[in-house]
Amino acid sequence: MQKVIYRICAYSRKKNDRQSMFRVVKTPNHEIHIDSTYVLQGRGAYLSKDKEVIMSAKKRHILEKHLKVVDCQNIYDQLIDLLK
């Protein structure tokens, strides 16, 4: 039996298992990636797999604040595409 790993959503601040969330990582080379394996090194932020949460996070620039970067607009678009 596997242990369930919980993480907190950067936007809603709700605790969910990490399989129901996206992980976005800023690597040591200052590149931004969507981490589907949950193992990339770097500063990470989790967002729930919900279109409304992602759109609201985009409006409030949540990933930019958590990852300390200037622009993540294309990452939000990629997350929405992954939901389809």
pLDDT digits (tens, 9 = 90+) for 43-81: 999 999 999 999 999 999 999 999 999 999 999 999 999
pTM score, whole prediction: 0.91
Lookup: tokens for 69: 């970067």
Q: Token pair for residue 44?
A: 């990470």
- Partnered with residue 16 across adjacent β-strands are 7
Q: Which residue has the higher pLDDT, 45 or 84?
A: 45
Q: Name the class of domain 6-83.
A: alpha beta
Whether the predicted pLDDT of 2 surpasses 90: no
Question: Mind giving me the DSSP string for 56-75?
Answer: HHHHHTHHHHHHT-S--HHH
Cβ atoms of 64 and 76 closer than 8 Å: no
Q: Over the chain, what is the mean pLDDT?
A: 95
Residue 33's pLDDT is what? Answer: 95
